[in-house]
Amino acid sequence: MASDTDGFEELTLHSEPAFSGNLLRLRIDTVRLPDGGKATREIVQHPGAVAIVPVTADGQLLMVRQWRHPVAKVTLEIPAGTLTPGESPERCAQRELVEEVGYFPGQLDKLTTVLVSPGYSDETIHIFMARQLQHQGRQPHPQADVSWAPDPDENVHLATVPLRKAVALCTQGAIADAKSVAGILLAWERLQGRP
């Protein structure tokens, strides 16, 4: 039986570590192409991540505003975080939602798993929709923008946006983070009852 990868697959001939940091590693693979030629591939290695689309009972989306140093901008994103070793995506989603916005998800529905940049990165992000949000005692209530810094390395501010408005912010380019655009539009499709 013909496999889905027939005629496509590249075989790794050689793999060379090129960088190892706290979050990222980078390696250079030399590959054999299907036509017999050779090429090199620069590959960023990432532990993987989760992102959460948290929707309240009255249709509000809980988002985070934060400084993103690589792009030198404040972005509006859905809560997200990196998987820790041995942690399931669901457990990571629960942990990150409490850490970033102060709510525990009573219901967690998988929307999809995206490949962030499959041309040069192995990172996948598991995206969930979270509902039945349970306010965790000591955390701030999301009435408006509230300063909230659970991780000393991160300066995360909560922002509450009606889901319908968040969809419009995606189409208008005001929400630019790729996982947020994908997650918000997928949640919107799901909640409209589309396949």
Judged by CB under 8 A, the chain residues 14 through 73 that form the site for its own copies are: 18-19, 21-24, 26, 28-29, 31, 33-35, 37, 39-44, 46, 65-71, 73
Tell me: does residue 86 bind its own copies (CB under 8 A): no
Which CB, 18 or 107, lies closer to its own copies?
A: 18
> Are residues 190 and 110 in contact, defined by beta-carbon separation less than 8 angstroms?
no
User: Cα separation of 181 and 178, whole Å?
Assistant: 5
String of DSSP letters for 116-159? S-TTTB--EEEEEEEEEEEE-TTSPP-SS-EEE-SSTT--EEEE
Q: Counting every residue, how long is the chain?
A: 195
Tell me: does residue 189 bind its own copies (CB under 8 A): yes
> Are residues 94 and 105 in contact, defined by beta-carbon separation less than 8 angstroms?
yes
Tell me: does residue 186 bind its own copies (CB under 8 A): yes
Kindly calculate the radius of gyration of the chain based on its CA atoms and give it in whole angstroms: 19
Residue 11 beta carbon to its own copies: minimum distance, rounded to whole angstroms: 10
Which CB, 44 or 98, lies closer to its own copies?
A: 44
Q: Which stretch binds its own copies (CB under 8 A): 9-17, 56-64, 87-95, 96-104?
A: 9-17
Residue 55 beta carbon to its own copies: minimum distance, rounded to whole angstroms: 16
Q: Which amino acid is located at 63 in the chain?
A: M
Burial of 185 (0-12, 13-18, 19+ CB in 10 A): middle
Residue 143 beta carbon to its own copies: minimum distance, rounded to whole angstroms: 18
Within 140-169, the residues that bind its own copies by CB under 8 A are: 147, 149, 152-153, 155, 157, 167-168
Q: Which amino acid is located at 82 in the chain?
A: T
Tell me: does residue 13 bind its own copies (CB under 8 A): no
Which CB, 57 or 72, lies closer to its own copies?
A: 72
Within 114-133, the residues that bind its own copies by CB under 8 A are: 114-125
